[in-house]
Structure 1
Amino acid sequence: MFGRPRGDEVRLDFARDAGMVVGDPESGAPARDEGFDTWVEASGAEAGLHLALQLTKAQAVVVVPALFCRQPSVDMNLLVRKGIQLRGTYGYRREHFADAYHLVAGYAEQLTQMVTRFPLSDAGHALSATAESEVIKAIVLPNEEAGLATGVDPSDALPLLDRAGRE
C-alpha cells in the first residue's frame, strides 16, 4: 500500500499491522526491490498510474478501477518491455455484492478496526477527524450513541445476497 508520508499515517500504520508492504512515492517499495506482482491503482491520478508501472515487476497485473479527470499518458514502452497487463474495470453486477459480502465477512475483525463510529451529535468532529486523517473511515450514526446501530445485524443480509448471486 502506498500513501503520502505525511497525512496518511493512520492508514499506513493500519496497513502495516495487517501485514501489507507499505511505502510512499518518495522512498519506493521497502523490502520489495523486485517489484509488486499486482497493483490496484484507484486514485485516478496520472502520477499514481506512473508509479504503478514503475514499481511493479515484469509480468505484473495493474488494475485501474479509477476514472481520470484528464486522459493520462502511459509509458507504453515500459508497459511492453515489462509485459505488464493493464486492466480497466467499470461497473458491477448483482452477484458482486454477494462476493464482496463473503470476502468482507472473512476479515470482519480487521475491517472493524478501520471504522470509527460517531453519534450524530458529533458529526462535526467526524468530518474534521476524517479531513485531518485521524481516522480511516468515519461513520455517523443517527439517533444512536457511538457503536453499532441497535436491531441491525449485517448477517441478516446474507440470504438476500446469496440469492442475488444465483439469479
Structure 2
Amino acid sequence: MIRKGTDKDFEEIFNAINDAATAYKGVIPPDRWHEPYMTKEELKVQIEDGVKFLCYFENNEIFGVMGIQDKTDVELIRHAYVRTKQRNRGIGTLLLRELIKDSTKPILIGTWKAASWAISFYEKHGFCLVDEEEKNHLLKKYWAIPGRQVETSVVLVDEKYKKSKD
C-alpha cells in the first residue's frame, strides 16, 4: 500500500532512508559519506522545506520512501530509498509512478554520479541525464547542496523538461 507520509511516520521514514543509504557506502566519495547518512535534523529540515514523502507499506512497516518537492517551475524527486532487504521488488517503480502521475511540471532528479544503479533506474523510467553545464546550473538553482556534492552528482530530467528547453 502507498500513502502519504505523516508526522507519525517520521521515525520510520528516517530509519528506511538510513537503511537504504548503506548502498552508497564505499561507492560515493568518502568525504560525502557519514553515519547516519541523514540525521533526524536534516530530515526535519527537508520536510520543513517542502519535501512531501510517499511511503510504501507492507504489514504496517515502511519498506520504501520517495519525496517530491515543488520548486515553483519544476518538481524535484527527493530521497528515494527502498530498504535493503526489500530491493528489486518493484517498490521504487510503484513509488515513482505514484509521485509523477499527476504532475504537470517538469521533474528533475539529482543523484550521485557513482550510483549507477540509481541512474539506470531513472533512465529505465524515461529520465535522461543532462550535460555537465546544465547539471551545474540546475543543482545550484534548485538544490541547497555543497559544491563538493555538485561535483559528484548528476541530474536527470523528464520529457516535460526537455520539451520546455526546445
If the length of structure 1 is used for normalisation, what is the TM-score?
0.32
Bigger relative contact order, structure 1 or 2, given CA contacts below 8 A and separation 6+?
A: 2
If the length of structure 2 is used for normalisation, what is the TM-score?
0.32
Structure with more strand by fraction: 2
Return the index of the structure with the highest Cα Rg.
1
